[in-house]
Amino acid sequence: MRHSLKVGLSFGLTSAIITTIGLMVGLYSGTHSRLVVLGGIITIAIADAFSDALGIHISEESENKHTTKEIWESTISTFLFKFVFAVTFVVPVLLFSLETAIVVSVFWGLLLLGIFSFYMAKEEKVKPWKVISEHIFIALVVIAVTYCVGIWVESTFK
């Protein structure tokens, strides 16, 4: 896989999972509103995909070692992967009760993250369990913190 596409996939997928799950869990625990969670997912799919794509664009430019074509491939692939993976979290919210959708979404996100982490570990020839456990641990920390923040916001500003 070309470097520019690998950048877009690895950053876009990881950011989509961590950001979207964190947002969903925080909004759910703070509002228990399907509309708010759905609006948050769609907003993050658009706004954060553009933001991350621009961040990758500037990062790749600042390295002074990529062609203009490679920079734009990284930019566009980051946007597309971030957007597509973030939007997949809309499906459970539309199909299930909100509580079930959150559980399904967390499972879906951790599964995707685990599969991608396994793929990365194999490519880097390192023990997959170390890479997978590190990435899953970070995701679980984000989930726990955003859940607590949602509860805090609800109890403080209700």
Hey, where are the domains in the chain?
Answer: 3-157
CA distances from 20 to 16, 44, 51 (A): 6, 7, 14
| Average pLDDT over the chain, rounded to an integer | 96
- Work out the pLDDT band at 72, boundaries 50, 70, 90: very high
pLDDT of residue 118: 97
pLDDT of residue 59: 94
- Token look-up 């559980």 returns 103
Q: What pTM was estimated for this model as a whole?
A: 0.93
pLDDT higher than 90, residue 55: yes
Checking if the pLDDT of 1 tops 80, the result is no
**Tens-digit pLDDT profile for residues 3-53:** 888 888 999 999 999 999 999 999 999 999 999 999 999 999 999 999 999
Q: Within 13 Å of residue 98, how many CA atoms lie on the same side as its CB?
A: 15
| pLDDT at 76 (0 to 100) | 95
Q: Measuring CA to CA, how many Å separate 104 from each of 15, 18, 108?
A: 18, 15, 6
Which pLDDT belongs to residue 39?
98
